[in-house]
């Protein structure tokens, strides 16, 4: 019987286990998860804190008992893999409840340990990060038991923006603290203006070029010299890969600790795979390495690895397009393609336009800003970004499919939208980008 060990659950490991069981009813599957929950809706956590999702059980997909009963998968929580020996095909595991250490052998190893949240050295019991359901429960309990009224949100990435919005909607006075002026870094910075507009409209304080120096009780000391009292601190200052357990294993890592994989998510050991947030791969449309710690890649990797191990299909992963979106109050900010900082590698032209998301005479029309970067020689789309109250994600999804199929920016004139006044315009904003590009 083929024995598969999975390190880590959630979007990568747990999805892989389910896909593998569907394809192979007989193999032996064991998940070792160092935290409490083997699978949960990671992306829904901020919305539970904001009381948008009011039923906590909606976030918890399978308990270990349900995994065993429904899937025939053994899931051991509070079990941390502390060492991998790919030459002897073994892992060393520590039971975090009993401190027992034991060794298990495998035929295939699939690593999906994820990343952990960076933390400031604050030494404060009111400082939290939000990475898993345990963190969410801790934050929810602290808010409920400590009459929380004021909260600084440290950092300005997806998690920070989503937590800020949800705590504000819950009635907590929020303040955004960020060490630079570059927020929401996957977005064109000038298009992030709507984020500040939304905060200004609600009189939400934000302080750029500011950092927390220390915390004394409820008093937060900033590096600017200012001090202010708060009731809870939420940190969202980036992530780092959980790959320390691979020290000495001989599994290749890049300089940041992420694991390069091939088109089947194999590491340099062919029976050892890596999926999810720890993976380093390439963009689909250009030959530049990238790291995309988002849910789609984890789910896609899980399917490809399950099919590859069982040899039911050998469909290679063709790379990321890095499609992403964040909701911030009334706006959606979304992009696809290379990051703004990666554009320096190309000879490119930018074209942009702004028009209503649907026919202007139909009630509810809202401005939509769309920007596209294309390579001058090939006319291939390198990157696109959109911001608006409605329709931004739809246009980026369309452009993602165009990029997946190597369409040129000029071919956007040929895009045929499902037009009716409530949905679009006779010449959609996608078409207008194509026409504008033809003039360049």
- From residue 355, alpha-carbon distances to 111, 417, 420 in Å are 45, 15, 16
pLDDT of residue 235: 96
Report yes or no on 320 lying in a domain: no
Active-site residue (options: 2, 3, 41, 43): 43
Same domain for 265 and 232: no
Same domain for 160 and 230: yes
Report yes or no on 428 lying in a domain: yes
pLDDT at 62 over 90: no
24 assigned to a ligand binding site: yes
pLDDT at 25 over 90: yes
Report yes or no on 275 lying in a domain: yes
Tokens in use for 424?
């679009």
Q: How confident is the model at residue 247 (pLDDT cuts 50, 70, 90)?
A: very high
Burial label for 98, CB within 10 Å (0-12, 13-18, 19+), is exposed
* Catalytic residue status for 115: no
Report yes or no on 52 lying in a domain: no
Of 221, 238, 255, the position where a domain reaches its end is 238
pLDDT of residue 123: 87
25 assigned to a ligand binding site: yes
pLDDT of residue 404: 96
Same domain for 109 and 7: yes
Q: Which value, in Å, is the radius of gyration of the alpha carbons in the chain?
A: 23
Same domain for 255 and 155: no
Of 280, 310, 340, the position where a domain reaches its end is 310
13 assigned to a ligand binding site: yes
Report yes or no on 322 lying in a domain: no
Tokens in use for 53?
């999702």
9 assigned to a ligand binding site: yes
Whether 13 and 6 have beta carbons less than 8 Å apart is answered as yes
161 assigned to a ligand binding site: yes
115 assigned to a ligand binding site: no
pLDDT of residue 108: 98
pLDDT of residue 440: 84
Q: How confident is the model at residue 128 (pLDDT cuts 50, 70, 90)?
A: very high
**CA angle at residue 358 from 356 to 359, to 5 degrees?**
90
268 assigned to a ligand binding site: yes
pTM (two decimals): 0.94
Same domain for 79 and 65: yes
Same domain for 100 and 136: no
% of the chain exceeding 90 in pLDDT:
97
Same domain for 96 and 34: yes
User: CATH no. for residue 391?
Assistant: 3.30.390.30
**CA angle at residue 202 from 200 to 204, to 5 degrees?**
70
Residue 18 domain boundaries: 3-39+60-114+241-310
Same domain for 428 and 365: yes
Of 238, 269, 292, the position where a domain reaches its end is 238
Model confidence pLDDT, tens digit, residues 367-406: 999 999 999 999 999 999 999 999 999 999 999 999 999 9
Report yes or no on 318 lying in a domain: no
Same domain for 233 and 136: yes
Report yes or no on 364 lying in a domain: yes
Report yes or no on 51 lying in a domain: no
271 assigned to a ligand binding site: yes
Q: How many domains does the chain have?
A: 3
Q: What value does the mean pLDDT of the chain take?
A: 96
Same domain for 254 and 229: no
Mean pLDDT of 17-37: 96
pLDDT of residue 195: 98
39 assigned to a ligand binding site: no
User: CATH no. for residue 194?
Assistant: 3.50.50.60
Whether 4 and 29 have beta carbons less than 8 Å apart is answered as yes
Same domain for 288 and 245: yes
Model confidence pLDDT, tens digit, residues 315-354: 999 999 999 999 999 999 999 999 999 999 999 999 999 9
33 assigned to a ligand binding site: yes
22 assigned to a ligand binding site: yes
- DSSP annotation string for 343-356: GGGS-EEEEEEEEE
- DSSP-derived pairing of the beta strands 381-388 and 348-356: unpaired
Tokens in use for 253?
């890592």
pLDDT of residue 410: 97
pLDDT of residue 405: 96
% of the chain exceeding 70 in pLDDT:
100
pLDDT at 218 over 90: yes
pLDDT at 257 over 90: yes
pLDDT of residue 248: 94
Same domain for 101 and 16: yes
17 assigned to a ligand binding site: yes
């Amino acid at each position: 019987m083929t024995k598969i060990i999975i390190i880590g659950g959630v979007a990568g490991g747990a999805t892989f286990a389910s896909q593998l069981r569907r394809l192979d009813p007989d193999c032996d599957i064991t998940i070792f998860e160092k935290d409490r929950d083997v699978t949960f809706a990671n992306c829904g956590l901020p919305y539970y804190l904001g009381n948008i999702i009011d039923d906590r059980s909606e976030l918890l997909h399978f308990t270990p008992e349900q995994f065993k009963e429904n899937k025939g998968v053994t899931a051991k929580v509070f079990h941390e893999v502390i060492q991998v020996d790919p030459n002897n095909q073994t892992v060393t595991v520590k039971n975090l409840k009993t401190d027992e250490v034991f060794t298990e052998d495998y035929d295939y190893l699939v690593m999906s340990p994820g990343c952990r949240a960076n933390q400031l050295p604050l030494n404060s019991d009111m400082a939290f990060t939000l990475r898993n359901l345990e963190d969410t429960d801790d934050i929810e309990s602290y808010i409920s038991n400590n009459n929380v009224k004021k909260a600084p949100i440290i950092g300005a990435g997806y998690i920070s923006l989503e937590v800020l919005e949800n705590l504000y909607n819950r009635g907590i006075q929020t303040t955004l603290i960020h060490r630079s002026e570059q927020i929401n870094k996957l977005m064109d910075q000038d298009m992030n203006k709507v984020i500040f507009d939304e905060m200004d409209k609600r009189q939400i304080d934000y302080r750029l070029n500011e950092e927390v120096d220390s915390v004394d009780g409820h008093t937060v000391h900033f590096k600017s010299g200012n001090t202010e009292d708060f009731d809870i601190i939420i940190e969202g200052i980036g992530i780092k890969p959980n790959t320390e357990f691979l020290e000495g294993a001989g599994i290749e890592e890049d300089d940041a600790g992420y694991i390069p994989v091939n088109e089947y998510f194999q590491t340099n050991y062919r029976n050892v795979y890596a999926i999810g947030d720890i993976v380093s791969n390439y963009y689909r449309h250009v030959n530049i390495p990238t790291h995309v710690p988002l849910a789609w890649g984890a789910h896609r990797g899980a399917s490809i690895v399950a099919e590859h191990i069982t040899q039911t299909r050998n469909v290679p992963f063709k790379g990321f397009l890095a499609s992403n979106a964040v909701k911030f109050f009334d706006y959606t900010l979304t992009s696809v393609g290379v990051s703004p900082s990666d554009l320096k590698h190309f000879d490119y032209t930018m074209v942009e336009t702004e028009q209503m998301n649907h026919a202007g005479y139909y009630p509810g029309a809202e401005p939509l800003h769309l920007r596209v970067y294309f390579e001058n020689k090939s006319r291939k789309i390198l990157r696109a970004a959109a911001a608006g109250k409605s329709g931004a994600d739809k246009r980026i999804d369309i452009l993602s499919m165009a990029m997946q199929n190597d369409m040129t920016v000029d071919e956007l004139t040929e895009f045929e939208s499902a037009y009716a006044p409530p949905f679009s315009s006779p010449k959609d904003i996608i078409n207008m980008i194509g026409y504008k590009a033809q003039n360049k």
